[in-house]
Structure formats: C-alpha cells, structure tokens
C-alpha cells in the first residue's frame, strides 16, 4: 500500500513532532510512506477567506505532488476536508478526482482502511478530546451532538486502545474552539473568547492534556493555555497513538 | 448596545468588553440549544422529519408561482383580500392605505420578522400611526427603542432586572421589581387595555397553505389571536416563501418548528385563519422584497426554505458570544448571514465572515439548509466582487503566490521560525491580533521537511 504523507504547512513549520509521529505510526501499521518533498499548503487559508481564485496555484501544485498514490493521509481533518471538497482546477481533472477520493484524515484512515485493532502505546494521563469541527461535521469522524443518531467516534475508538488513558467528560462535547482559520485574527474578540471557554471546559474537568485530530485548533488552545500559565497541555492524537515517552 | 456599528467584528469587540455578560448570554442560549436537543432526540423519526420538510420546501421553491396563485385563488374564495408587494416600500404603503381607508391611527401587532425587515413600524409612526407590539419580548425592545436581537426571543439580551427598570419607567411597576411573573402580569394588563381599544391588528404568517388558502400563526402568548379576533381589520403579512402545498404538510412543520426553536413539543397556540368573521376584513400581503431574485441564485436559493426557528442562532458559538445586534439586520446569526447579502451585498459583506464554518447551524436546521456551505460560497462571491479590503486582496495574492512555489515556501517558513526565535517582539505585541489573548507557538529547531531530508532522504 503506497501512502503519500500530506503534512499541513503550519505542522511542517511549527509542529514537526506531529508529522514525525504520523509517519512512524503509519509505518508501524504496515504502510510504505512517501513524503512528497515539494508540498507546501493545500490552499485552505485563501479559500476560506473567499479567495479560492488565489489558491489555484496551490491546487495545481498539490495535484502534481500527490498524483499516483493509493492513499493520501493527513494528520488534519480540516486540510483533508479542503482537498476533498475544493480541489478542482481545469488542468488535472482525472488526477484530482482520484486524489479527492483517496485523501484521508489519519484517524479515519486507521479505522476505515487499515482497520487497526491494537495500538501499542500507553498514556497514563487524564485526557480531554477536542472534536475539531471540520473533521467531525465535515468528515464525520465522530457523531455530532445535534443529530438524533447513534454515537460513535473514530479518534475515540483509537484512543480507547491506548493503555492507561483516562478520557474525561466535557460539558459541551463538540463546541467549536473558535480557531476558524483567518477568523482567529479577523474576529479576534470572539475567537479568543470561544477558545477560553473551550479550554475552561477541559480544565474544569481536570484534563492534563487536550488532544484532537487537528493541530490548528490545538495551537489556538495552546496559545490560550500558555497565556493563562495553565498546567494543561495540548498533544496531537498521532503523538499519543505513536507512543510518547512521558 | 451600540447599534450604529455596522461591522460584525467591531460590534463583537464592544459586546466582549463585558465578559460576565457574554458568559450569561452564551449560557442562556446554550440552555435553549440543550432543550432543543432533548426535544428532538425524543422523536425517533426526527432526521426523517427534517428530510421531509426539506423536500417539501424544495418542491415549493421549484413551483413557487403556481402555489402562490393557487393560494391567492383559494384565499379570495374564502373572502380574504389579497395584496401583492414587490418590495418593502410597497408593503408599507399597502398596510398604510388599508389603515387610512378605515381611518385607523392605532394598531396592535404580533411578532412578524417581515415587518422588521420592511421597517414598517418606523414608516407607520412617520405617518402618524401608533403601533403597539404585543409579543412580550417585542414590546420590551419597542419600549427600549431598539431592534430585536433574536427572531424568536427578541429581548434575549435583556436581564430581568433591566426589564424591571424599563417597566418601572414606562408601565409604573414597583421600583427594583424583577420577578418575571409580576412583570409579565403588568405587561399583560397594559396590553389587554390596548387590545380592547384597537380596531386593527397585524400578524405575521408562519405557514400559508396553497390548497386551502388558510394561514397559520404560531405563538406562545396568544397575542396574535387576541389581536386578530378583537380587531375589525386583520392584516397578515408574509414573505412569498412561506407557502406550503397542502394542509397535511403542517403535520411535518409544526412538529419541527417549536422543537427546533425552544424545545417545546408545539407552540401554545397554532392558530389557523381561513375566513373572516362576520363584519371583519382579513387582508393578506404577499411580499417579494428581493426573494424572486434570490430564488434565481442556484447556490443560495435554498436558504428560502427557512422557517425562522432560530435554532441556528442558539447553537452558533459566534452568535452566543457576539449578540444579535452585531449582525445589524432584522434576521441575525448564521441564517441572517446568508440571507442578508442577497438584499445588499455591500452593506452585509462582513457577515459571511462572522463564522468559523463549524457547521453546527446546518445540523440543527429543521429544513436542512446548507448554511455553512453557503457562508463559504458567499465569501467567494464577495471577494470576487472586489468587496475585500485592498490590504487583504494583496496579502492573499501574495500568500497564494508564495505557497504555490515550494522554494519560496521553504524560505519564508524558515524566516518565520527565525523571527519567532530571535525577534519574538516583532510578532508578540499588541499589533498582532493573535497575541492579544494567546501566546505564539514555540518555534522548533527544524521543520519536518528538514528533518525528513536528514533522516529519510
């Protein structure tokens, strides 16, 4: 199984450990992983700001980089969703159609494609699970509290395989953290308040770590936790699943 | 509340100056979202009902002109007088002309978001006609001389102590009184006198049935009924999208409406109006006001399915933390943000950006409007129209260019990390909006790409 590793630009630049954990985790579970070296950004920051037309260059580059693999796996629900929904240029239609069909967020790839049933890792901590909206409501990684439907959680089922994790309950199980891409600066007042409220829910329930499948939300909440000199930390789910020395 | 601010982000800054009040506002509305969850989760066929409602409304939008003509024909046969208004101005003139003809200078009105949209109160007051809003929440904001902040709960931004103050000033209730029962009783007494002396009543319309020519008004206070039954003239105003094909479809919509709005199984009153009582005139004003143009926009037409339940507002984490007035329109929240650019793109260009695109709005919508997808699409339309600030246009162009060139991306990424490491003051200051409430991420010693080349290259 030839898997291309798609690493979001801000993860590449600011959270290389998340990318390393993703790579190692996929390899442990039997994938032959390639990281196309010319990748940059999926184009979502421009597209979500209303500038899809300025993201054309990114889309074309993405199609060049990621054509010809069995699967493309990314440790971010948000970037995955962008590619799935918005990778459309005039130039590379067949390649893009294949890419849109074979791009997966890491947790859904492990559950739906690899059908992982054991994880060799231990994380003896109280952990709060943040449901990032694009992964949850866009890719359906977990059931959504608004719907009258059976609950499930792909990231949750993976965490349940990790030894000694204590998952805490939240008052609001899937409220947005307020990151929202450029929203975090364009609507700074509301974004900051949403982040503070989300973090408070985890802290109130004594989370030592907040985890999730999207580093962007975690980066936003990390910024708030650090400003508050909180002991609570953020950690990407790939790092827990890959086993981390603590 | 500063209602002169017409930019959501600026109004939100004002709203957030009083953080305990934001917490109170957020919790009040979240409580309603929780009630909605309980009510909707108690019905096993809930998701099926949403699907039915969505399909019925899709059918309506695809056959709107036929249903409207069918409705008109049946309403006329029932003895109702039907008017057509192309826009807000014509709507207001029609209402005014009916009142003038009967020499009426005072009117009671039950809640109607359409008349808010059309600015009817101001228009009639300008023409010497006194309008008394009879919905309790509407009456409160009317006394306070401000617009509603929510389409179902117009004064949700007011605390009971503040309402006590307001009533003390206007209705003479005891100073310092804040008991909701006492205040409601005072308002009721004050309004009862009004009901008995007014000869005209205006109501909104929740559903108009093409097949029968009847219309249904859903309220909890019975104020629409009290007004309409006592008055000689009943004027009902509705947007043309309020049509449903058949009476049996009410069974779908009435089950969805109150559960979505407040978590009640059904509103206290679902009043069906069909034929005028003897010696009474009933008028229906069918209002377009931009809707038929809106209907022609493929990406945006299905927002006309909206039944005004406000579930999207209650669930919206941004609405709860910025307040209804920050949307500077009669209809606020996520649905307002996709409806209002249809009327005036320039004046409402900020609203599609007042969202994180979290998608909760689309999930609670009882008629399955793809609200968050439309927010995304409006952003594209607005920026293509050139309505973005010049600095944003330039920075997005630059960003798109840099990110499409791998070597430039590598250099700029490295530069950004170096800045963070060696000159953090460049970004860690008050000019950087990220830094106001958050620390910057700690820069790692190398990017993943650099690590990969070293370790796997």
pLDDT tens string B259-307: 999 999 999 999 999 999 998 999 999 999 999 999 999 999 999 999 9
Q: Which residues face B233 on adjacent strands?
A: B200, B281
Q: Considering only CB atoms, which chain B residues are within 8 Å of A51?
A: 380, 383, 388, 396-397, 400
pLDDT category of residue A100 using cuts at 50, 70 and 90 = very high
Which value, to the nearest 10 degrees, does the dihedral of the CA atoms of residues B101, B103, B105, B110 take?
A: -50
Hey, how many other C-beta atoms are within 10 angstroms of the C-beta on B274? Answer: 16
pLDDT exceeds 90 at position B196: no
- Residue pair A82/A15 in contact (Cβ under 8 Å)? The answer is no
A184 found inside a domain: yes
Q: Which of A34, A48, A54, A78 to mutate to test the interface with B (most CBs of B within 10 A)?
A: A54
For the residues B246-256, what does the mean pLDDT come to? Answer: 98
Specify the residue for token string 């206007």: B170
**Among A33-47, B357-371, B395-409, which is the least confidently predicted range?**
B395-409
Q: Which of B318, B400, B408, B439 to mutate to test the interface with A (most CBs of A within 10 A)?
A: B400
- Chain A / chain B CB contacts < 8 angstroms: 219
Could you tell me the two tokens for B163? 């309402």
Residue-wise pLDDT tens digits, B352-361: 999 999 999 9
Closest by Cα among A246, A212, A241 to A11: A212
Q: Which of B354, B395, B402, B437 to mutate to test the interface with A (most CBs of A within 10 A)?
A: B437
Q: What pLDDT is stored for residue A93 in this prediction? A: 87
Q: Which residues face A2 on adjacent strands?
A: A32
d(CA B115, CA B121): 7
d(CA B293, CA A112): 44
Eight-class DSSP state of B325? G
Answer yes or no: do B401 and A57 touch at CB < 8 A: yes
CA distance B411 to chain A (A): 11
A118 found inside a domain: no
pLDDT exceeds 80 at position A40: yes
d(CA A44, CA A59): 10
Q: Considering only CB atoms, which chain A residues are within 8 Å of B8?
A: 187
pLDDT exceeds 70 at position B1: no
pLDDT exceeds 90 at position B193: no
For the residues B211-217, what does the mean pLDDT come to? Answer: 98
A176 found inside a domain: yes
- Residue pair B369/B333 in contact (Cβ under 8 Å)? The answer is no
* Interchain CB contact of A24 with B (< 8 Å): no
pLDDT exceeds 60 at position B5: yes
Rounded to two decimals, the pTM is 0.96
CA distance A208 to chain B (A): 19
pLDDT category of residue B4 using cuts at 50, 70 and 90 = low
For the residues B181-192, what does the mean pLDDT come to? Answer: 91
A12 found inside a domain: yes
Statement to judge: residues A230 and A138 lie in one domain? yes
d(CA B178, CA A158): 51
Query: In chain A, pLDDT over 90 holds for what percent of residues?
Result: 95
Q: What are phi and psi of B423, to 5 degrees?
A: -130, 60
pLDDT exceeds 70 at position B67: yes
The count of structural domains within chain A is 2
Q: What pLDDT is stored for residue B428 in this prediction? A: 80
Percent helix, strand, coil in chain A, to 5, is 50, 15, 40
What lies within 8 Å, CB to CB, of B297 at 6+ separation is B342
A147 found inside a domain: yes
- Residue pair B435/A220 in contact (Cβ under 8 Å)? The answer is no
Average pLDDT, chain B: 94
Query: In chain B, pLDDT over 90 holds for what percent of residues?
Result: 85
d(CA B254, CA B242): 13
For the residues A61-75, what does the mean pLDDT come to? Answer: 96
d(CA B150, CA B322): 12
Q: Provide the chain A residues 109-168 that lie in CB contact (below 8 A) with chain B.
A: 133-134, 137-138, 144-149
What's the sign of the alpha-carbon dihedral B66, B67, B72, B75?
positive
Chain B residue at shortest CA distance from A234: B441
Statement to judge: residues A103 and A44 lie in one domain? yes
Query: In chain B, pLDDT over 70 holds for what percent of residues?
Result: 99
Q: Considering only CB atoms, which chain A residues are within 8 Å of B409?
A: 9, 40-41
Which value, to the nearest 10 degrees, does the dihedral of the CA atoms of residues B14, B18, B21, B26 take?
A: 60
Order of strands across the sheet that contains B207-209:
B243-244, B207-209, B215-219, B269-273
Answer yes or no: do B438 and A39 touch at CB < 8 A: no
Q: What pLDDT is stored for residue B418 in this prediction? A: 85
CATH classification of the domain holding A164:
3.40.50
Hey, how many other C-beta atoms are within 10 angstroms of the C-beta on B304? Answer: 23
**Among B19-33, B70-84, B400-414, B419-433, which is the least confidently predicted range?**
B419-433
Largest CA-CA distance found in chain B, in angstroms, rounded: 91
Answer yes or no: do A45 and B399 touch at CB < 8 A: yes
pLDDT category of residue B222 using cuts at 50, 70 and 90 = confident
pLDDT exceeds 50 at position A174: yes
SS3 label, residue A103? strand
- Residue pair A111/A124 in contact (Cβ under 8 Å)? The answer is no
A198 found inside a domain: yes
Q: Considering only CB atoms, which chain B residues are within 8 Å of A184?
A: 433-434
* Interchain CB contact of A16 with B (< 8 Å): yes
Q: What pLDDT is stored for residue A245 in this prediction? A: 56
Statement to judge: residues A141 and A232 lie in one domain? yes
Q: Considering only CB atoms, which chain B residues are within 8 Å of A76?
A: none
Per-position b or e across B156-166, b if 16+ CB within 10 A of its CB: bbbeeeebbbb
Which homologous superfamily does the CATH classification assign to the domain defined by B43-289?
A: NagB/RpiA/CoA transferase-like (3.40.50.10420)
Answer yes or no: do A185 and B433 touch at CB < 8 A: yes
Q: Considering only CB atoms, which chain A residues are within 8 Å of B9?
A: 186-190
Residue that terminates a domain, selected from A91, A113, A135: A113
Order of strands across the sheet that contains A71-74:
A32-34, A2-5, A71-74, A103-105
Statement to judge: residues A90 and A37 lie in one domain? yes
Q: Considering only CB atoms, which chain B residues are within 8 Å of A13?
A: 413, 416-417, 447
pLDDT exceeds 50 at position B149: yes
A135 found inside a domain: yes
pLDDT exceeds 80 at position A246: no
Domain range enclosing A43:
2-113
d(CA B429, CA B379): 29
Residue-wise pLDDT tens digits, B11-61: 999 999 999 999 999 999 999 999 999 999 999 999 999 999 999 999 999
Q: Provide the chain A residues 58-77 that lie in CB contact (below 8 A) with chain B.
A: 58, 60-61
Answer yes or no: do B358 and A19 touch at CB < 8 A: no
* Interchain CB contact of A189 with B (< 8 Å): yes
Residue boundaries of the structural domains of chain B = 43-289, 397-456
Statement to judge: residues A47 and A148 lie in one domain? no
Residue-wise pLDDT tens digits, B296-348: 999 999 999 999 999 999 999 999 999 999 999 999 999 999 999 999 999 99
* Interchain CB contact of A222 with B (< 8 Å): yes
């Amino acid at each position: 199984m030839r898997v291309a590793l798609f690493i979001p630009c801000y993860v590449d630049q600011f959270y290389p450990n998340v990318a390393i954990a993703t790579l190692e985790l996929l390899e442990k579970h039997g994938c032959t992983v390639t990281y196309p070296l010319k990748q940059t950004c999926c184009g979502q920051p421009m597209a979500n700001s209303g500038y899809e037309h300025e993201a054309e260059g990114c889309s074309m580059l993405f199609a060049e980089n990621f054509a010809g693999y069995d699967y493309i796996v990314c440790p971010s629900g948000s970037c995955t969703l962008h590619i799935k929904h918005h990778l459309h240029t005039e130039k590379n239609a067949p390649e893009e159609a294949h890419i849109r069909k074979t791009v997966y967020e890491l947790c859904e790839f492990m559950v739906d494609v690899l059908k992982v049933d054991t994880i060799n890792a231990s994380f003896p901590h109280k952990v709060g699970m943040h449901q990032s909206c694009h992964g949850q409501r866009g890719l359906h990684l977990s059931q959504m509290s608004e719907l009258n439907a059976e609950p499930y959680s792909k990231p949750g089922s993976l965490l349940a395989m990790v030894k000694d994790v204590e998952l805490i309950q939240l008052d609001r199980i899937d409220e947005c953290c307020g990151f929202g891409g450029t929203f975090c600066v364009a609507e700074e007042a509301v974004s900051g308040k949403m982040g503070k409220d989300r973090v408070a829910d985890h802290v109130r329930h004594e989370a030592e770590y907040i985890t999730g499948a999207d580093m962007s939300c975690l980066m936003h909440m990390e910024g708030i936790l650090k400003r508050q000199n909180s002991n609570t930390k953020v950690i990407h789910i790939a790092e827990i699943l890959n086993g981390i020395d603590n | 509340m500063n209602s002169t601010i017409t930019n959501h982000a600026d109004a939100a800054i004002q709203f957030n100056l009083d953080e305990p009040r934001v917490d109170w506002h957020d919790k009040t509305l979240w409580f309603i979202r929780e009630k909605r969850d309980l009510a909707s989760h108690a019905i096993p066929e809930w998701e099926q009902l949403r699907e039915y409602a969505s399909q019925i409304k899709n059918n309506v939008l695809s056959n709107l002109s036929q249903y409207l003509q069918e409705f008109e024909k049946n309403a006329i046969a029932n003895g109702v007088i039907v008017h057509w208004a192309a826009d807000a101005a014509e709507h207001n003139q029609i209402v005014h002309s009916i009142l003038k003809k009967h020499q009426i200078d005072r009117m009671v009105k039950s809640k109607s978001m359409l008349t808010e949209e059309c600015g009817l109160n101001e228009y009639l007051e300008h023409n010497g006609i006194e309008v008394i809003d009879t919905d309790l929440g509407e009456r409160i904001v009317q006394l306070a001389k401000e617009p509603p902040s929510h389409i179902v709960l117009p004064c949700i931004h007011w605390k009971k102590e503040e309402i006590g103050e307001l009533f003390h000033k206007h209705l003479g209730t005891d100073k310092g009184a804040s008991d909701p029962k006492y205040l409601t009783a005072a308002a009721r007494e004050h309004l009862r006198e009004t009901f008995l002396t007014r000869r005209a009543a205006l109501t909104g319309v929740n559903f108009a049935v093409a097949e029968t020519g009847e219309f249904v008004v859903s309220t909890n206070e019975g104020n629409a009924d009290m007004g309409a039954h006592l008055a000689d003239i009943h004027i009902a105003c509705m947007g043309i999208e309020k049509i449903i094909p058949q009476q049996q479809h009410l069974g779908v919509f009435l089950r969805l409406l109150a559960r979505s709005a407040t978590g009640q199984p059904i509103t206290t009153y679902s009043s069906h109006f069909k034929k005028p009582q003897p010696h009474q005139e009933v008028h229906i004003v069918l209002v377009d006001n931009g809707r038929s143009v809106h209907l022609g926009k493929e990406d945006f037409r299905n927002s006309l399915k909206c039944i005004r339940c406000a579930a999207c507002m209650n669930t919206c984490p941004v609405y709860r933390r910025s307040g209804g007035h920050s949307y500077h329109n009669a209809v606020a929240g996520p649905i307002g943000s996709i409806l209002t650019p249809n009327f005036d793109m320039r004046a409402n260009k900020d609203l599609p950006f007042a969202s994180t695109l979290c998608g909760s709005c689309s999930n609670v919508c009882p008629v399955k409007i793809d609200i968050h997808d439309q927010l995304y699409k409006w952003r594209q339309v607005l920026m293509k129209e050139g309505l973005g600030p010049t600095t944003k246009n330039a920075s997005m162009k630059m960003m798109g260019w840099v990110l499409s060139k791998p070597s430039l991306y590598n250099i700029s990424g490295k530069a950004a990390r170096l800045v963070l490491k060696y000159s953090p003051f460049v970004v860690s200051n008050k000019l950087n909006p990220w830094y106001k409430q958050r620390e910057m991420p700690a820069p790692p010693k190398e990017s993943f790409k650099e690590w990969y080349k070293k370790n796997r290259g």
